[in-house]
Structures are given as structure tokens and as C-alpha cells.
Amino acid sequence: MPTRTVDPHFSRVSWAVVVALLVCSILVGLEPLISPLTAYAPVLAVPAAAGLPALIPPLRLTPLGGSTWGFWAADVAGVLVMLAAAFVLLRAGDRRRPNPSILRAFGRGVGVTVLAVIAGNLVRGVFSSFAVHMDFGTYLGTTAANIAVSALFGAAVGLIVGVAAAVVAAVAGRRLAASDPEASGPEASDPAASDPAASAPVSSAATEAPADTNPAVTESAPADARG
């Protein structure tokens, strides 16, 4: 008796989202890139000044500046949680629609990035709350602000991730159309074209009702007329 197994397929669009997230995380962890960017746009330093996780979880080999190894470990844990959340969300999307269109791929990349960044920054926020000994009320307020700020940064990074996913979806769609031309032809949208039984003409004799040939009925009509 065959058993039902989970399809291990992970679409190219989903891999593009995961790789793009990882690349963005590595870029955020580069001090030669982030320091001039923060100096050019000081608004990027506002979350860190307010005690919130900045940008998205960064991936770097050593702690940044005067930071400690504990914060470095929290950042790495945030990256792992972010990628794990993205993997779960993308896997669920592939089960529903394994070959998304360009617009759907872009939207999936943006939405997954926002949720994944929120999940990763929540991990960083929990560590920061213990490091600075926050009380419960302050922790709730900080967590709410962390979610809002993470959603904004996630949406900004999600635009880049969404573009990468859309490009991969466009290339995959062209390859699929080239390998299966009938899938993009007029017959794909006309089920009757591929079903000979549906397009066969219906015989006129089958649509006509059979004539009433009962002799008893036909002979009784003249008899009634003579009576």
C-alpha cells in the first residue's frame, strides 16, 4: 500500500528569496558598508539609539566595534531564526502554488521578508531585554516598537528580495514555456480543444424525440370522427 510522503521540492523562487535574505544579512554585517550608510542617513541609527534591534539581523564573523560576544551570538541566532521562518513560509507557499507568477513571486518575497525579519529581530530584542534588565512593562513597549520598526525595515529589504524573486520567476516561466509550448498555447485555455468527445458534433437524430407510432392511437382518431 503506497504511503503519502511530503514533496521535498523547494522552488527556485523560494531559493532566490532565501539566498537574497542571506546576502542582505551579510551586507548589513559589513561595517565598512553600514557605517558610511548610517552617516549618510542618520535615521538608520534611531532604532539602536532607542534600544531596539537595528535594520535586519546581521551576519558577521566577529562582534562589531565595542559590542560583546553575547550580542554577536544574539545576532547570529536572529539570522538563523529569520532564515528558518522564511523557509517555513516559503515551503507552505510552494505547496499551494509551486510556480507563482511574476507579481505573486514579488509579493511572496516582500511578505516573507517582513515576517522573517520580525521573527529574527524578536530574538535579538529578547536578548537585549535581559542584557539591560528591563521590567515587564518596558519589555512590552519595546517589543511593540520592535515589531513596528522591524516591519518597516523588512518591507524596505523585501523590495530587493521581491525583485530577485520576480526575476527568477520570469526566467523560470520562460523556461517552462520553452520546454512545453502547448502549455502556453490556445489549447491550454480551451478544454474542448483537447477533448475530442466535448468537441464532437451532436447528431440531430439524437436530439429529436421519437415519433408516436402506436397504431391504436392513430386508428381511434377516424373512428371518433365518424361517430
pLDDT of residue 88: 95
pLDDT of residue 9: 66
Provide, rounded to the nearest whole percent, the portion of the chain with pLDDT above 70: 74
The residues, ordered by sequence, that sit 6+ positions from 95 with a Cβ below 8 Å of its Cβ are 7
Closest to 12 (Cα-Cα) out of 90, 96, 118, 113: 90
Instruction: Tell me the pLDDT of the chain averaged across its residues.
Output: 80
The residues, ordered by sequence, that sit 6+ positions from 100 with a Cβ below 8 Å of its Cβ are 11, 13, 93, 108, 169
pLDDT of residue 80: 97
- Extract the C-alpha cell encoding 131: 542584557
Has residue 3 got a pLDDT over 50? no
Q: pLDDT (tens digit, 9 = 90+) per residue, 48-107?
A: 888 888 899 999 988 877 778 899 999 999 999 999 999 999 999 999 888 889 999 999
pLDDT of residue 8: 54
pLDDT of residue 175: 75
